[in-house]
Amino acid sequence: MSWQAYTDQLVATGKLDKAALYSAAGDSLWAQTGAFEIKPEEITAIAQAYADPAALQAHGLNVGGEPYLLLRSDDRSIYGRGKGKDKDTTGVIAVKTKQAILVAHYPTGVVANEATLIVEKLADYLISVGY
């Protein structure tokens, strides 16, 4: 399966509207859905936060030029909820595997836990096959 198929598969669930797949270092984009433009400094901050979340905790989580309230950051997963009156029901999920970082966005109307489970499950699969 191509890398693009994985991001397309996430969006096809109907629970996520954007997805991207990067190298674990955050220095190489492997696949993305149409309009999900993550700035280089944003993916670098996410990649570095797996080892040391202090910068994200101090400066906040930004993805695609949008700010997110940092809900969780550990050595595997980073979760954020949209900020602002019309964005507080959206969110982002970033999960690190052995060789990749999955980043996905869920829109208003999707339960955060449902979106999170989908991304975490794909990450588990990638880990099981060596990625």
Per-residue pLDDT reduced to its tens digit, 66-107? 999 999 999 999 999 998 777 778 999 999 999 999 999 999
Q: Please provide residue 88's backbone torsions phi and psi, each rounded to the nearest 5 degrees.
A: -75, 0
Amino acid at 92: V
Check: CB of residue 76 under 8 Å from CB of residue 96: yes
Residue % of the chain over a pLDDT of 70: 98
Domain that holds residue 36: 3-129
Q: What is the CATH number of the domain that holds 68?
A: 3.30.450.30
3-state secondary structure of 77: strand
Residue 84's pLDDT is 75
Per-residue pLDDT reduced to its tens digit, 53-63? 998 988 889 99
> What's the number of domains the chain is made of?
1
Q: Where are the alpha helices (DSSP H) in the chain?
A: 3-12, 40-49, 54-59, 112-128
What DSSP string describes 120-131?
HHHHHHHHHTT-
